[in-house]
Amino acid sequence: RQSWASDSSDSVISSGSDSDGSLYKVILLGEHGVGKTSLARIFGGVEDCADAEEAVSVGNTYDRSIIVDGEEASLVVFDIWEQDDSQWLQNHCMKMGDAYIIVYSVTDKVSFEKASELRIQLRRARQTEDIPIILVGNKSDLVRSREVSVDEGRACAVVFDCKFIETSAALHHNVKDLFEGIVRQIRLRKDSKED
């Protein structure tokens, strides 16, 4: 079986951080079924025919430039967390990102608990670094089957010292804000390092 690492995406994954900081690697984490692929595909413009040419999609990575606050930023979004059961891949994910999006589904309490575990795992892997993380409660459109309240999500983000947003990939609600938010978080840290 061909593994993801042996195809052309290898060069993207193993390339170091761009020294001028213009290319950011963003990793999606979260339990199966929470909506990681849906969010990544919206980012990549795959769902949106008019935009399709803008995105370069290699397997489960989506490469796209977006304008945030009048300045261009290039993001490579990796939807590879569940690609493979290998511990190696998951360890690699924890090490390689410039920023992380931890997704749970507001209709699934277990996925919410898993999100906390992922946050802890990430903190352990990147102890000394202040990495941008956004906690995402997806499927906010499924009002009747909600198991996690907005307040619970927000409180969790406070405890874990990260940003929080609720999204609906189904309605494309807040998805743009999510990716713009990640760029702002990356820039904030970059700017404070330069001071």
Q: Applying CB under 6 A, which residues contact ligand GDP? A: 30, 32-38, 138-139, 141-142, 168-170
CB of 28 to ligand GDP, least distance (A): 8
Asked if 115 and 102 count as a contact pair (C-beta separation under 8 A), the reply is yes
Measured from the CB atom, the residue of 105 and 185 that comes closer to ligand GDP is 105
> Shortest distance, CB of residue 188 to ligand GDP, whole angstroms?
27
CB of 32 to ligand GDP, least distance (A): 5
Render the burial of 7-35: b for 16+ CB within 10 Å, e for the rest.
Answer: eebeebbeeeeeeeeebbbbbbbbbeebb
Closer Cβ to ligand GDP, 73 or 168, answer by number = 168
Nearer to ligand GDP, 63 or 166 (CB): 166
Asked if residue 133 lies in contact with residue 99, where contact means CB atoms within 8 angstroms, the answer is yes
Q: How far is the CB of 171 from ligand GDP (least distance, A)?
A: 7
Sign of the C-alpha dihedral computed for residues 56, 58, 59 and 63 taken in this order: negative
> Where do we find the tokens 């000394």?
128
